Structure 1
Amino acid sequence: MEPAASLADDRRAQYTRRIRAAVERLLEQSSFTSLSVEDIIREARIARSTFYVYFADKGQMLGALTEDLLDDALVAVQGWWELPPTAEYAQLRTAMAGFIGFFEQHSALLKAVIDASAYDPVAAEGFARMVQSGQDGIAEHIRAGQHLHAVSPDIEPDVVARWLVRLVEQGLYDQIPAASPQRHERLIDAISMISWNVLYRGARG
């Protein structure tokens, strides 16, 4: 039998997923600040008492949704970070398109997290972990690539990783959500070319 703590964690994860889906549906029509707990539990079809078993308030709930989004984002970005050393630009662009597509699908929740991080300490902490995870992952990708002579040896992994994460974050927040299909493709071209030129081109001779 599974330990009681493990079962409780599984139930919390299930409810978090259920609430996240409900919140994302609601965010298609409303801002996060305008949503009440009542709106959320009605959309998720759960009891108020169940909500408060797992979350003290809406801010703590958003923190949990941020962690859940981060877990999925780290899976989505593996298509980029796990590219082979011999990968060509077209493979990088395909990986970037998949990653951008993930965040485009969840752009309303990402915007809610970024906006709430300006005033809610729990949301701010969750968003900071998301940013730090991105920076750490890119920096490790750079170091591994440099070891394999697939990434330019002249760049500082941590510094470049911070720049790239902030660049992508702003693009996901400001440009991707409102982009037409044609502009969407140009934006993917742009971030793919920036990443290619900064990271890989100098190692390809």
Structure 2
Amino acid sequence: MLSQIRPAIVMIGLFTALTGLVYPLAITGVAQLAMPTQANGSLIEGDGTVIGSTLIGQNFVSDRYFHGRPSATTAPDPADPSKTTDAPYNASNSMGSNLGPTSKKLVDRVNAAIEAEFAAGRIDVVAADAVTTSASGLDPHISPQFALAQASAVAKARNLSEMQVRALVEANTEGRVLGVIGEPRVNVLLLNMALDRLK
């Protein structure tokens, strides 16, 4: 019996070391050499301080900035830890709402978001991503249509011409990967940083 247990224990130890230590360390080393920025979270720094990541959205609330799509992420309620409260772009709790297309709650939330967007006067056309959440709740991108719909309100808040702001959106629109994969998109953080650089 010992002759069967000993090889099994040796194999468990060997494969634990290989798959649990050697492989992850090797992949981490290759990633650090091949693409260090992406391997470290695609962080963006300004004045020596990390201000965000191109991979995780942020909750911009000022009218002076473009807004990202809604986020369904939550966090524990500080008043009652047994409950949750909305916490947009909470990276420690990445998730979507998990509400299906026939859900009355989803329909009511989307209709309320549409009404809120029009009431705020920020947009004149509602793009789908203006009122729907992504699967992760952390999507850093919006469609060019949603960005352009916000251009007028952002230009007004910053005393810029709408043409300047629309040109900035166009300049920050990323195309499809290899020309065929995905959809054109705008990274909200990068767009807002470009906006801050406008004089």
Structure (1 or 2) with the larger CA radius of gyration: 2
Question: Which is strand-richer, 1 or 2?
Answer: 2
Question: Which is helix-richer, 1 or 2?
Answer: 1
TM-score exceeds 0.5: no
TM-score of the superposition, structure 1-length normalised?
Answer: 0.25
TM-score of the superposition, structure 2-length normalised?
Answer: 0.25
